[in-house]
Structure 1
Amino acid sequence: MAYKDYYDVLGVSRGASDADIKSAYRKLAKQYHPDKNAGDEKAAEKFKEIGEAYAVLSDPEKRKVFDQFGHTGQVPPGYQGGGFQGGDFGGFDGSQFSDFFQGLFGGAGRRGGAGFQGGAQVNLEDLLGGGLGGVGQSRRFVQNVEGELQVTLEEAFSGSDEVINVDGKRLSLRVPAGTRDGARLRLAGQGPGGGDVLLTIRVLEDARFDLDGDHLTTSVDVPAPVAALGGDVTVQTLSGKGNLSVPPGSSGGRRMRLRGQGWPKKDGTRGDLYVRLNVTVPATLSDEQKELYRTLRDLG
């Protein structure tokens, strides 16, 4: 095992107190924690190294062995002080941390076609509370899996039942009606090692609708005669098809409102749906229609 001076790693002197070592570890762990350095391999390696250093220096027996033999990185053959076996210093094998952290930064599965991605992460509060304790401590790491779940605008509007795959485990969840883009869902205790699964909801854009606050906007084609004389047209809403009564003399671009057909609110009510009128004329006209349009043109 390559020699490392763990005092240098934590930036403390060899005479540092336990409190000094713990304080230095917490400061560095905050600085290099994966939550703050996503995708930074150097930070991940430094974070692992900090954990190794603290695991040795926070344990009196391991620190004693390191102080005696750490400059060589080896314990003299046959040494078994403090219950450690011969081998690398103090019986501490850095590979156990390498294996552990490799698991932390690995993938966590996907929900097919939904963009779910995740990597297990150490819970920062648990970590800074002493999660890397020495021999005899039973604290365990809480591993949280974070990822994104993509849903359509209709699914976010009405709510939907989803199934995701996390570390080979299928999990069912309910996306509540009225969920907004960026909302967070937590599946407590469902992650690897009993951690939580934390999902950020991403609502896909829908070419038919624009969402602004609690209100939706869409458009509807209105035949020119209906726009001129008034009449009913069918409007597609997120709840299904609705009816819109177009007043006589309506022009293209006019906005009309369907109350209560917008986005669900927390109080159980809903915003409004605004409909833009798009006045249309036939692409091809019969001779009779042409004559009628000529008459209208001449009258205008």
Structure 2
Amino acid sequence: MSTISVALISSLPSEENPLDFHYQLQKIGYEKYGMKVDLLKNGEFVYSIKENQEKPKLYYSQKPFDPGEYNLALARLAIKAAHGGDHYVLREFQNSQVPVINPCDALLKAKDKLHTLQRLSIAGLPVTPTAVIRKREEIGFALSLLGKPPYIIKSPFGSGGSSVLQASTSAQVFAIFDYAWHIDRNEILLIQSYLGEETAQDVRSLYFNYKPWRAMVRQASQGEFRANVKIGANTEITMLTQEEQNICYRAARETGLVLAGIDFLRTNHGPVILEVNGCPGLMGIASAYQRQNIDIIDEFALLLLEYAKNTKTASR
């Protein structure tokens, strides 16, 4: 039986080393499942487009690179950038009929949190009340639509809790916009109702191939309103209710993400979606499950292997 080959493409520059998670996935994939995982840095690729009718070519470390040699590509690219300029490599994999997790178009759309909220809202899913304004004079009206403070103000692009602020008064909202628009008048910021409890926490649910995989509760550290692992949130495993599973399934389907991290709040009137991540971090949830002797990276390797095998069979 031929070896399954996976290209893990990260947004790391050439001079940086892959993350520990990447090494772990590579090791477990090969030693336990006979799966070859190549760690590829986006910064090592050169993309060449000629003026004649020759097809564009990829080079890696200045050597010709054929995406078609792989059974699957796993994208671990930066999600903070508003643009999708670094996705040219993923498109070449897709042009070679290699399945990509996540597909380029779905990943680009998921980068834009406002776009995601629009799509989910139109689909009838419960999302965080949000307002978008373009003039200072509209701030008061927007706040009246959202109700009482506190408010959350954040960029449509960002991860790990970066670019997220909390305002306890309308004056603070005005001040935040004054500062942001002084730096960049074209900056778009989302104003959202704060639906959290006194102790800020939310749920991160992982879905793979539109099926529930694992979930955790993230609880913010003392004095913090953001429940992000990168800024010190505590994690513990949790089970989803049937209602939560249904909503997360619909969110994953709506966004087209094979691997989706759905963040939502548990409120008195049911789950409310905060955002859907196309490149969810795994180390926080891996830490939570490790305490229960469950290896998330091992499970992920097996999920990738089965997905690659199934898509390989379907393409015959």
By the TM > 0.5 criterion, same fold? no
- Name the structure, 1 or 2, with higher relative contact order (CA <8 Å, separation 6+): 2
Structure with the higher helix share, 1 or 2: 2
Q: Which has the larger radius of gyration?
A: 1
TM-score by length of 1: 0.23
